[in-house]
Structure 1
Amino acid sequence: MSRMSAASHESVERGKSLYFLTWRWHFYAGLFVVPFILILAVTGIVMMFDGEIEQARYSDILQVTPQHHQVAVSQQLAAVQSAYPHGIVTEFIPAQAVDVANKFSVRMADGSDRFITVNPYSGEVLGSIDRTQSWYQLANGIHATLLIGDAGDYLLEIAASLGILLLVTGLYLWWPRDNASRSGFLKIRFGSGSRIVMRDMHANLGGVLSIVLLFFLISGLSWTGFWGKTFVQTWNSFPTYYTYGEKPQSKPMTHASLNHGTEKELPWNLELTPMPESTHPVMEEQPMAAGAPSMAGGQPEEAHDHSKMGMGEVHAMGHGALNIDTIMAKAKQMGFGYYRVFFPTGATGVYTVTANTMAGDIHDPRDDQTMHFDQYSGEVLMGVTWQDYTLFAKAMAAGVSLHQGDLSPLNKWLNVVFCLSFILIAVTGGVMWWIRRPAGKGKLSVPPRFEQAGIWKVGLVTLILIGVAFPLAGLSIISVLLLDWLLFSRVARLRYMLS
């Protein structure tokens, strides 16, 4: 064999080895990632239509007839308190349309949260919606934690991280290198059999949408409990200082404490930032009988012995607290359009007024605004707007809108198309494997491995880079390599199944 032909043969063998190595890791990553892609895509579609779903399910207590005048929000609040005397009002969410009811979030005595709907024109309480029973809450819980807490969050983070590996290896397999790969590039060969059709749909759709999939994976990872919170959110949270007033001496709650369940209602970059505190006015204490009403922030106060009161009962305490009408007037003066209001918690709690893309309040992230008001004086204790965000936090705020389909109806429907496409990519990959596998032999039909030192170095470097960038994916890859070395390659039955 001549030197040229030997070099050519070596190049072909090297390319073949690299192809099968890439395919092997693409297969392994797909085994883990595909079920999660299906889960995330389906729940994502449900979440994008939460408004329409809620309106259809509860139209009898959400639909109202527009009138010329609305009653004061404080009167609506009083009606809610009268209807639910043992509940604690935590949040006010005004309607975004003139024919829809306002909502107050109320924490019940059993710890559950309910939306209480109120006709803004008459002040009549229309009904209640269990927040934990909404389709959005269910879909969001699955989307965020698989309904199993931190363990689910970590599994989803591993899946999204390995999704990067799946994407990189898939792009390599899709990109044309020879006549065989060029024959199916950017076209579907309908006359070449079902497996080829599945392959062309899977590869071309995945390749064309690779940037879109990467965006969803990275923006989704930014919300995760380990990579997002440890490596991204901590670096890009708003500095712990207060635009107005002094930093509280006690250890305050963080902004994340205002979220209800898995719903994200505060800006992502503020979640780890401590809340400011109201300063109780110095005044002579007047004796009060237990149960005597005190409109502190519009909330009832029972007594001053905090040690005998539950968390909910301490909500919004303090003499002389301002009511919600005053706070809303101040918010409008500061340029707020649409916004939601969180009520003070305890004697040092604050009114929080926010409009942000994370909660879906607004569509343009440049209008993000969160303000905290002293519940007694109405003074602004802390204010954060788009201009205060770090560069990454701005990118995250914009990414949230795109990810959730909030920017426009076009954004929403494109996201639906993308989700359906991801489902099709996952399903065609599974069908392609099912057709390829040897039926009835109990084998996974893993792509073969061709050992070649140089190729393994390339693969190892790729795996290390992904592992360093996404630690949970790195741990998963190391675990698989160890299992392959210690168990799969040494047990004949397992070696046969994985062949």
Structure 2
Amino acid sequence: MTTVTNGDTSPQAAARRAKAANLYRAVWRWHFYAGLIILPFMITLAVTGAIYLFREDVDNIVHANFMQVTPIEGQRLSPSQIIDAALGAQAGTAVKFTDPISDTQSTEVTIKPETGSNMAVYVNQYTGEVLEVRPDRSTFAWTVRYLHSFRYFGPNPRKIIEIVGGFAILMVLTGVYLWWPRGAMRGQKGGVITVRGEPKRRVFWRDTHAVTGIIIGFFIVFLALTGMPWSSVWGAKVNEWANGSNYGYPNGLRINVPMSEDHLDHIAKTSWSLEQAQIPESVPPMMEMPTIGIDIATQIFDEMALHRGYAVALPNGSSGVYSGSVYPDDLSQQRVVHLDQYTGDALLDMSYADYGPLGKWLEFGINTHMGQTFGLLNQLLLLAVCVGIVLLAVSAAVMWWKRRPSGSLGVPPLPSDRKVFIGLFVILGIGGVLFPLTGITLLGMIVLDMIWQAVRAKPARI
């Protein structure tokens, strides 16, 4: 590290410079450690996130053979006929009917076999032809989504989301400190807003890393915070707190009907705020009475103007309901409606407008995180951020490789005054309290670093 003087040679100025240099080294050291842990995960999140931004377009290309159909005017089958066609190809019980988002999309029917996991059956709603039978949520976009959230690897790896999110925020904050022009460097342009040198020089990669980080740092923090709701510890607790009731519905929404023990997230794709929402129950009539059926249920949902592409969870048992839910890009059109299976009455009708203030802000953040709020501009902006994250990781790796001494890990040097760590650890501790899993990981890193320092300081025996 180069020490820059400003002409003041007094002992007080020298002490200030020494203190600043020590703090710089302490921050640099922990910026390095944080990067060492999360950069591989950041690359994975960036690549899968960039693909998922264009999930519908990608799926329509990859799965065009069963997702795309040619409309035939006046020949559309009823939902019950479509379900019958699906059951003819896959035995079991139909549990969900998904209205196609456009006339050129096939209709998806979810079936629960007697044994095994749910299956998705894609049917041409104009001819009744079954186009595909495959495991539920097994399309390319769903696979990318599960990879992005680490859900693909089971429940425990999802905790990595919280750890990576917390460290990403730490990386940005410490990175801004390291980038910040100080002393005689304040008039410097290179490495602050421009990149110096050529790719063969370390300064090129240092400046690329610094300038890229300062440009996209805000977006990294935003993505980290809005990705936290999917974490299995922090996200679950905030979800419970934000919803404000045992039913999982936002505060202020009155529930005057019997509620089952089942949750909305178990039956259909839903918004984050409603994952814990319990399903109302139909009250079986005293005398035997037929249910309204899926055809009447979808007709009611259409009359209620649910946005196209809504999913209908079919009643499970005599007290089940028809649950229509849709979560399009337009937040104002998010909606869930539960119908009594015997009368067709709406037992609960809730939209984005019914969420509490915290729920609205969280849903806005999640919607924007997924590239939905501002259309193509939202997608392209986040695509650029994802590319920037990969560039940050690559430039950090190249910069480290060019800087590290031969045969060494190249950990930034310790400050001469260890007291500067106190303030840094207090700040890290606050972050650790806010994000518990990140805090536990930080604590483990501090212990390991102290052990390593003690081993290195121990004199060799002759």
TM-score computed with the length of structure 2 as normaliser: 0.90
Match of 1:211 in 2: 218
- Residues in 1 aligned to 2:217 and 2:182: alpha-carbon distance in whole angstroms: 18
Work out whether residues 321 and 338 of structure 2, in 8 Å CA contact, stay in contact via their aligned partners in 1: yes
Work out whether residues 54 and 379 of structure 2, in 8 Å CA contact, stay in contact via their aligned partners in 1: no
Pairwise CA RMSD: 2.4
Structure 2 residue 187 is matched with structure 1 residue 222: no
2:312 is aligned, of 341, 355, 372, to 341
Work out whether residues 62 and 140 of structure 2, in 8 Å CA contact, stay in contact via their aligned partners in 1: no
CA deviation map 1:322-349 (0-9, x unaligned): 2112112222232313222111222222
2:427 is aligned, of 462, 468, 476, to 462
CA apart distance, 1:193:
5.1
Work out whether residues 352 and 360 of structure 2, in 8 Å CA contact, stay in contact via their aligned partners in 1: yes
- Residues in 1 aligned to 2:363 and 2:391: alpha-carbon distance in whole angstroms: 29
Match of 1:291 in 2: none
Structure 2 residue 266 is matched with structure 1 residue 257: yes
* Cα separation, partners in 2 of 1:335 and 1:94, compared to 1, 3 Å: closer
Structure 2 residue 365 is matched with structure 1 residue 399: yes
Match of 2:444 in 1: 479
The one-letter amino acid paired with 2:298 is M
Work out whether residues 60 and 67 of structure 2, in 8 Å CA contact, stay in contact via their aligned partners in 1: yes
Match of 2:82 in 1: 76
Work out whether residues 243 and 382 of structure 1, in 8 Å CA contact, stay in contact via their aligned partners in 2: no
* 3-state secondary structure, aligned to 1:209: helix
Structure 2 residue 257 is matched with structure 1 residue 246: yes
Match of 2:379 in 1: 412
- Equivalent residues in 2 for 1:282-431 (5 A)? 282-283=286-287, 320-338=290-308, 339-356=310-327, 362-407=328-373, 408-431=375-398
- Residues in 2 aligned to 1:105 and 1:420: alpha-carbon distance in whole angstroms: 36
CA apart distance, 1:254:
1.6
* 3-state secondary structure, aligned to 1:491: helix
- Residues in 1 aligned to 2:71 and 2:201: alpha-carbon distance in whole angstroms: 57
CA deviation map 1:405-430 (0-9, x unaligned): 12312211222111111111111111
Work out whether residues 120 and 137 of structure 2, in 8 Å CA contact, stay in contact via their aligned partners in 1: no
- Greater shift in the superposed pair: 453-462 or 384-393: 453-462
CA apart distance, 1:243:
4.5
- Residues in 1 aligned to 2:122 and 2:168: alpha-carbon distance in whole angstroms: 41
Work out whether residues 103 and 116 of structure 1, in 8 Å CA contact, stay in contact via their aligned partners in 2: yes
1:269 is aligned, of 266, 273, 281, to 273
Structure 2 residue 240 is matched with structure 1 residue 234: yes
The one-letter amino acid paired with 1:336 is L
Structure 2 residue 24 is matched with structure 1 residue 19: yes
Work out whether residues 256 and 271 of structure 1, in 8 Å CA contact, stay in contact via their aligned partners in 2: yes
Match of 2:13 in 1: 8
Match of 2:454 in 1: 490
TM-score computed with the length of structure 1 as normaliser: 0.83
The one-letter amino acid paired with 1:488 is W
- Residues in 2 aligned to 1:26 and 1:15: alpha-carbon distance in whole angstroms: 16
- Residues in 2 aligned to 1:495 and 1:409: alpha-carbon distance in whole angstroms: 61
- Residues in 1 aligned to 2:127 and 2:264: alpha-carbon distance in whole angstroms: 33
Match of 1:281 in 2: 285
CA deviation map 1:457-483 (0-9, x unaligned): 321221122112111111111111222
Match of 1:189 in 2: 196
CA apart distance, 1:148:
2.7
* 3-state secondary structure, aligned to 1:112: coil
The one-letter amino acid paired with 2:211 is N
CA deviation map 1:381-422 (0-9, x unaligned): 222211210111111221222111123122112221111111
- Residues in 2 aligned to 1:495 and 1:54: alpha-carbon distance in whole angstroms: 61
- Residues in 2 aligned to 1:395 and 1:257: alpha-carbon distance in whole angstroms: 24
* 3-state secondary structure, aligned to 1:190: coil
- Residues in 1 aligned to 2:265 and 2:346: alpha-carbon distance in whole angstroms: 20
Number of aligned residues: 444
CA apart distance, 1:435:
1.0
CA apart distance, 1:167:
1.1
- Greater shift in the superposed pair: 454-463 or 158-167: 454-463
- Residues in 2 aligned to 1:372 and 1:445: alpha-carbon distance in whole angstroms: 60
- Residues in 2 aligned to 1:495 and 1:283: alpha-carbon distance in whole angstroms: 89
1:50 is aligned, of 55, 67, 76, to 55
* Cα separation, partners in 2 of 1:132 and 1:372, compared to 1, 3 Å: closer
Match of 1:287 in 2: none
Q: Please, which runs of 5 or more residues in structure 2 have no aligned partner?
A: 1-7
- Residues in 2 aligned to 1:363 and 1:72: alpha-carbon distance in whole angstroms: 27
Counting aligned pairs with the same residue, the percent is 29
- Residues in 1 aligned to 2:138 and 2:312: alpha-carbon distance in whole angstroms: 22
- Residues in 2 aligned to 1:337 and 1:149: alpha-carbon distance in whole angstroms: 33
- Residues in 1 aligned to 2:459 and 2:84: alpha-carbon distance in whole angstroms: 70
* 3-state secondary structure, aligned to 2:95: strand
CA deviation map 1:314-372 (0-9, x unaligned): xxxxx62221121122222323132221112222221111111xxxxx11112211111
CA apart distance, 1:189:
0.5
Work out whether residues 30 and 166 of structure 1, in 8 Å CA contact, stay in contact via their aligned partners in 2: yes
CA deviation map 1:207-256 (0-9, x unaligned): 111111111000001211101111x11111264377464233xx611222
* 3-state secondary structure, aligned to 1:19: helix
The one-letter amino acid paired with 2:454 is R
CA apart distance, 1:374:
1.5
Match of 2:4 in 1: none
CA apart distance, 1:80:
1.6
- Residues in 2 aligned to 1:146 and 1:367: alpha-carbon distance in whole angstroms: 27
The one-letter amino acid paired with 2:302 is K
* Cα separation, partners in 2 of 1:238 and 1:467, compared to 1, 3 Å: closer
